[in-house]
Structure 1
């Protein structure tokens, strides 16, 4: 079934039916599909609407509610504020690109570990936890450097946007707004 998208139907009684296995599954089973990187799509059995994002958000909600959450309340509140904001699309792409870069880095670390320990060595979550605990300060320093670079990039981007905006509007005469020396006389 490699390469084929698994179809899961959600019924009005909120049950999830895996058409590949011909049985009902739980949200935990869908989470396992995500962890195993299996492609799937969840549709409403009645309307055919795609519910995949909704189910993924439910999985995140469950994970955030139990144990150690990934996001603070402040981060979640800020994410909510981006919806409907002019920066919504930009922020979505920013998060997607950064998560992609992080995932790529993680994959490279795993490849390096395989090259050191061989193809058959089990690289489990426990091993990664031990590694990150041992390398904690170095990893925090690396992430701090990355965040500083990202912050500088945002400041530079804001400065470029400000300059472009000034250049665009510099040629326009707005009533009651003085123009600069390059644009003519000041009133």
Structure 2
């Protein structure tokens, strides 16, 4: 039965056995982390489960792939960035941080796809693959500047939102006497 474009692709099931081997139930073959990385790059829908318990191990496997990528070649995260991410665990903002990262990565991917589509239409007709790769490398600083500007704007909006929430909280509790706060109706002296 042909699959129409609006339906979701079937989820590919990967089983992880106690001997650390990964078994792809679709191809009936053992696979490696590199194969799972390729599934990610191919936008395949998959789930990794423990063969014995059925527990979902997808996140754990993806984190292993990230660890391998960070250990070899050019890392994406600095030690400072990783330390800052760790500090969010157990913090009240932990849930917000995950959503923030996910949404911002999606925005970056959308921008990247759009730039590639626009550039490809114009330049690929006139240049070969090497020239195309050089052009995309030249666009990296522009993309970084654009993202820095976006992040600065996001920071400013967040600070404004935080100030507004703080003002609303003060207004909500103006009738309650808190130590170190002026009583309701009085103004602080400059």
- Same-fold call, TM cutoff 0.5: yes
RMSD: 2.7
Helix, strand or coil at the partner of 1:12: coil
Q: Which residue of 2 aligns with 1:88?
A: 94
Report what 1:53 is aligned to. 59
C-alpha distance 127-59 of structure 1, shift in aligned 2 (>3 A): farther
Corresponding residue number in structure 2 for 1:163:
167
Deviation at 1:160, TM superposition (A): 1.5
* Partner residue of 1:44 out of 47, 50, 71: 50
Shift, 1:154, TM fit? 1.9
Instruction: Tell me the TM-score normalised to structure 1 length.
Output: 0.85
Cα 1:112–1:45 change in 2 (3 A) is same
Partner of 1:35: 41
Q: Alignment partner of 1:7: what SS? A: strand
SS at match of 2:52: coil
Looking at structure 1, the residues matched to 31 and 62 of structure 2 have their Cα atoms a distance apart, in angstroms, of 15
Secondary structure at the counterpart of residue 69 of structure 1: coil
1:88-139 Cα distance to aligned partner (Å, 9 max, x none): 01111111110111111111122213432579x9979x945x2243234433
Q: TM-score, normalised by structure 2?
A: 0.84
Q: Which runs of 5+ in 1 are unaligned?
A: none
Structure 1 residues 171, 123: CA separation in 2 closer, same or farther (over 3 Å shift)?
Answer: farther
